[in-house]
Each structure stands twice: as C-alpha cells, then as structure tokens.
Structure 1
Amino acid sequence: MTVSSDPVRLSRWIRRTARVAFVSAFLVVLAGSIVRMTGSGMGCPDWPRCFGLTIPPTQTSQVQWQPDASYAEGRMILERDSLWIAPNQHRSGTSFASDRDIGLWRHYAKHDYAHFNPFHTWVEFINRLLGAFAGLPALLLVVLSLLSGIRHRNWRPLLPALGALMALGFVAWLGKKVVDGNLIPGSITLHMLGALAILGLQLAALRKAGACVPKIHASSRTWMAIAAAITFAQLVFGTQVREAVDHLVHEGVARANWISQLPDWWKGHRTAFWAVLAAHLIWLWPGIQSGKPTQWECAVIALLGGQFATGLAFGLLGMPAAAQPIHLVLAVGLILTDGWLLGSKPLQ
C-alpha cells in the first residue's frame, strides 16, 4: 500500500512535512536576525548570486581586478571605491582603466554599496541558502496536500500550504528588491510580516491535517485574541525601532549611544510590553491560580519572561548584539504560540 492510497498515512506525512517546513522557515527568521545583528545585509551586493559568483568569495583578491583573468558575465569587482559588473564574458587586459574604457566593465548603478567583508558575505550567503532549502519542504507540503485532495477529497491543508509557498516566494522576491535598493526603508517590517505569514500558514496546514489540539485552562478566547493582536502590533512596532537603529548605524553612531539617539517614540515600544504582559496574564491566570499550568501555558510564561529580560538588557547594557536575535525569536515564538492556542480546547 502506497502512502497516497492511505488517507491516514498521507495525513501523517502532511503533518511531518508541515513541521519540517515550519522549523526550516523559523531557522530562516533566526538567520535573518543574525544578518541584521552583524550588519551583513549587503554582504552580497547582488541577488541571487554573490559578487556574480555561485560560491561567494573568501579573499579580497577575488573581488579585485586581475590582469589576464577570465571573467564571466555578471561578475562583480571592487575598484576605485566603486562596484563594477562585467556585461559580457571576457578576458582582462593589462589594466583596469583600458578594460573599462572599451566597455568590459560597467559601473553598477543599482546601489552605491562598495565594500567587501568575508564574514558579512558568508553570513548573508548562509541566510540565503537556508531560505532556498526552506522552499523544498514548503513545496513538498503543497504537493502532498494536493495529492490528499485529489485522492481523498481532503482539500483542507491545501490552501494554507499554497499560501505559505506563495508567501515564501514573495519574501524571496522582496530580498532581491532589498539588495538592489541597499536595504530600502521598511524592508525589516515587510520581511517580518512575510515570515509571520509563512510560519502561520504552515501551522494552519498542520492543524488542517489533523494535528492534536492543545488543551489549556483558559476558557475565554476573547483575551487570547486580544493578547495575540497586541503582541502582533508590538512586533511590528519593534521592527520600526530596528529601522531607526539601522539609520543610526548608517550615520556612524556608536552602539553605546543608540538608546540616547533613538527618537522618543521608541519608548512607546518599551512601554507597550506591559500591555502585552497584562493581556497574557488575564487569560493565563486560571492556569497560574490552579498551581498546575499546562506545558503550553508554561511556554507562554517563559516567552514573556525572555522578552522582558532581553528588553531590559537593551536598556541597561546598550543594546547588546547577542540579545537582538534572541529578542526577535522570542517575539515571533510568542505570537505564533498565541495563534496556535487560539484553536485550543479548555482543560476539563
């Protein structure tokens, strides 16, 4: 008996694939936060290749003009503090100036970023690799969901699976636009919304494929929905703060002075955490009061505690680099957990 001929086995495979797709996408979110933390977003100045190469360069000599060297179409080099691209495949002559004058090199006009740092380059490249690999289980999830619909008339997982794949394509397209525009304003927020859409839709596919419904003490979905909505707004607000930090980095402001140089509106993000905490404690209270909170309720409490600790570290320690990806991952984990628990059942 094949997997496709047995609806139970096929649903089990859909759930497994959805979990793999979810973990893969979550790793991309983590990698993206590390890219931001290290300032590696422009480590590869082009997309989908890196300096026109399939395997990124590791040495400065690889991105400098060399005499009597073969250059493929699209290859990029750094010369005279500018980025240059080869419009055609060619072999270099005796000097860069002469090659440029006869059109073998053209100034790269999409942006003016002209730096090479091997660490930044490979951090960004690994982030792209993870994004590409995340597409494989997402595509397989669509195929299995489609097969389930055709063979067994179970179309429920297909729509969220297809939506997640489309959202993944959107995020990849946005990544190209961001690189072409040298990290255009608003890119962090758009990337985060796209990532949340991918993760949320994959969880929806998992639920539609028959995943076990969690049980918690809370009986009111109203405050759970309010908590999720406030958390989502807080996450978007946080991406705007990060945009402001990126502006300070571009202006050359030292990390120790970021907090003092941020616009005053960022304090609203700090204060809004108390609204997030209060909304969660309202629906968590029955479990806390019972003295035996469920594993899911403990997970939410831990996520809130981690958010508080990393937020405190930002204010007291001058936004330490290591705290940034942790803060983001905890925020994403909190809102996804909120969304997952909205479909829970009250504990009897």
Structure 2
Amino acid sequence: MKRSVRFPVSTALLRRLAYASIVANVAIVVTGGAVRLTASGLGCPTWPRCTDESYHTTAEMGVHGVIEFGNRLLTFAVGLIALATLLAVLAHRPRRKGLLGLAVAVFLGIPAQAVIGGITVLTNLNPWVVGLHFLASMAVIAAAYALWRRIKDPDGPAVAVVPGPLRTLAALTTVVSVAVLVVGTWVTGSGPHAGDGGAARNGLDPEQISQVHADAVFLLLGLSVALVFAFRAVGATGPARAAVVLVAVELGQGVIGFVQYFTDLPALLVGAHMLGSCLVLLATLSVLWSTRERRPTPVPAPAPAEERVPATA
C-alpha cells in the first residue's frame, strides 16, 4: 500500500508566513490610505471591473487609475499570502488547536474586505462605508496577529500570569483602543481627504468629533500608563514591557495626530497616522496576550512498578 506524499511544514516556517500576513495586511491599509490621500478613490470608477469595459486601468484614466488599480492588485498578493498560510496550517503536524480557525478567518477576511472596498466605490466613497473598509482591515490584522502568537504557544491550558483585576483592566484598555479606531474613522469621514473631489462627507463637525477622538486617546493613554505601574507592582515583567511599548506607540501616534491637526492635515502625516493606528492595535493586542500564557500539558508520570497490574497469561 502506497503512502501519500506529505510536505511537512515546520513551526518556524508557519510563524514566518503568519508574520508576513500581518505585514501584508498593514501594508494594504497604508496603500489604501494612499489611494484616498491622492484623491484616487474613484480612479477605477466601478467594481469589480475597473471600467465598464475593462478589468484593468487604461492610459486615459491617468495616474489615479494606476494608483487605485495597483491597490486592487495588492489585494491578490495579500490573499495569496493568506492562502499559503492556510495551506501551511493544514500541512503542519501535529495539528495545533485553534490554528485552522484563525487561518480560515484571515483568508476569508481578505475577500470580505475587498467586497467592502468595492461597495465604497459603488457608493461613490460613502464615508461610513470607507470607515467600515478600514475597520475590516483592522479585524483581519487582529486575526493574523492572534494566529502568529498562537503558533508559538504550546497546546496546553492558558494560565493567567497577572491577577484577575489586571486582566480586566487590560481587556478594558483593548475596548477603548478599538473605540479610538472607530471614532478615528468618524474624524476621517468629516475631514478633507475624501478620496475624490466629489465624495460626500459624513456631516459631523470636524472640530467637535476631533475633540471626542482626542478625549478617547487621553483615556487610552491613561489606562495604558496604569497598566505599566500595575504590572510592575505585581512583578509581571513581560506584561509590563508590553505595556511600556504600548505607551510609546500611543505617544508617537498622539504626536502625529496633534501635528497633523494643527497643520491642516497634510497627506504624508495622515498616511503616517494610518500606519500608527495599525501599530496601536498590534501593541494593544500584545498587552492583552501577555496577561496569559499557555504551558505544555504535563505528561503523567508512569505508575510505580509495585502498583502496575500484572499482565494475564
């Protein structure tokens, strides 16, 4: 009887693929921002075709068509990385708990995010749909990060490394971090970078919603600083380091946010702020993940010789 040929996938290769998926999804957020910031959101005026007659850009569409079509092509590259990661998870032995579900979530998140992107075009860059497009990318990044972290962990039970109240504080910080991202899309939808000169805005007052966003950022920063001191107080060095990184990322993102606000939102700084949003999310997830760790399932010791049941003849 012939055995089927298998191509074993190492844990190291699996982690590299998952890491590449994180990087690729962050990259498509940044390039998607470039589409909006260069007013190329309708460079391809329809979807899934680029024009009514063609799936690709034409010379008559100029640089805006090239930028928008290039971003669409990048979606295929991101999808191929997600597919490679999924196939690697299927080939990896022994099969790890939870990996397949996360890999499927990342893979299916790519076309889902692309469809939402298509709806943004079909709705002439409706700001609420544009915001949903960004948040869908954040969800895919979060799933890719969870996959990358889970690959490293053993299959044993998750054990808390900090007291329950601090885990609750870390969870609350995560919720506020997500709220900051959501409100940030409202700020974007009220501002000048619509992606096209004729695109509508969401009708919110830019100054007022920016203040709400800033208040949420200050709350997030306060919670993160509290986590640093709380983790250090209980001797949780790993979570404390993760919280310090989070505070540093938030401060950098905050500086970019304030500078862009008081300099009339230059495109380059807005793009940097979008990249910073991805980094804030990843740093927040790192803190949340650090509050627990998985330990290998203990192997039961063999019974003493005198307690073993003798084999029957």
TM-score range, shorter chain: 0.7 to 0.9
Q: In structure 2, what is the Cα distance between the partners aligned to 1:285 and 1:35? A: 41
Q: Which residue of 2 aligns with 1:189?
A: 131
Q: In structure 1, what is the Cα distance between the partners aligned to 2:96 and 2:292? A: 27
Alignment match of 1:161 (pick from 103, 112, 117): 103
Letter in 2 for 1:160: L
Q: Which residue of 1 aligns with 2:246?
A: 300
Shift of 1:25: 1.0
Distance 1:57 1:275, change over 3 A: same
Shift of 1:309: 0.9
Q: Which residue of 1 aligns with 2:269?
A: 323
Taking only the aligned residue pairs, the percentage that are identical comes to: 26
Shift of 1:249: 8.2
Cα RMSD for the two superposed structures = 3.3
Letter in 2 for 1:306: G
Distance 1:309 1:34, change over 3 A: same
Say whether residues 1:15 and 2:15 are aligned partners. Answer: yes
Shift of 1:161: 0.7
Q: In structure 1, what is the Cα distance between the partners aligned to 2:191 and 2:252? A: 21
> Following superposition of structure 1 onto structure 2, how do residues 252-331 of structure 1 map, counting pairs within 5 Å?
262=206, 264-285=208-229, 296-331=242-277
Alignment match of 1:180 (pick from 101, 110, 122): 122
> Following superposition of structure 1 onto structure 2, how do residues 188-267 of structure 1 map, counting pairs within 5 Å?
188-210=130-152, 220-245=166-191, 262=206, 264-267=208-211
2:242–2:286 Cα contact (<8 Å) kept: no
Alignment match of 1:137 (pick from 81, 101, 108): 81
SS at match of 1:56: coil
Letter in 1 for 2:114: A
Shift of 1:341: 2.5
Q: Which residue of 2 aligns with 1:124?
A: 68
Distance 1:170 1:246, change over 3 A: farther
Say whether residues 1:28 and 2:8 are aligned partners. Answer: no
Letter in 2 for 1:16: R
Number of residue pairs the alignment of both structures matches = 274
1:304–1:334 Cα contact (<8 Å) kept: yes
1:4–1:10 Cα contact (<8 Å) kept: no
1:218–1:286 Cα contact (<8 Å) kept: no
Shift of 1:55: 4.5
Distance 1:193 1:265, change over 3 A: closer
SS at match of 2:267: coil
Q: In structure 1, what is the Cα distance between the partners aligned to 2:81 and 2:268? A: 29
Distance 1:285 1:155, change over 3 A: closer
Shift of 1:49: 3.7
Letter in 1 for 2:74: L
Letter in 1 for 2:38: T
SS at match of 2:191: helix
Q: 1:261-316 CA distances to partner (integer Å, 9 max, x unpaired)?
A: 626343211222211110111012367899x9976445323311212111211332
Letter in 1 for 2:65: T
Shift of 1:236: 0.3
Higher helix share: 2
Shift of 1:222: 2.3
Q: 1:187-222 CA distances to partner (integer Å, 9 max, x unpaired)?
A: 12211221112111111112222259xxxx976222
Distance 1:343 1:261, change over 3 A: closer
SS at match of 1:171: helix
Q: Which residue of 1 aligns with 2:309?
A: none
Q: In structure 2, what is the Cα distance between the partners aligned to 1:178 and 1:185? A: 8
TM-score under structure 2 normalisation?
0.76
Distance 1:131 1:247, change over 3 A: closer
Q: In structure 2, what is the Cα distance between the partners aligned to 1:331 and 1:24? A: 15
Runs of 5+ in structure 2 lacking a partner?
155-160, 294-313
Q: Which residue of 2 aligns with 1:57?
A: 58
Q: In structure 2, what is the Cα distance between the partners aligned to 1:26 and 1:181? A: 24
Q: Which residue of 1 aligns with 2:47?
A: 47
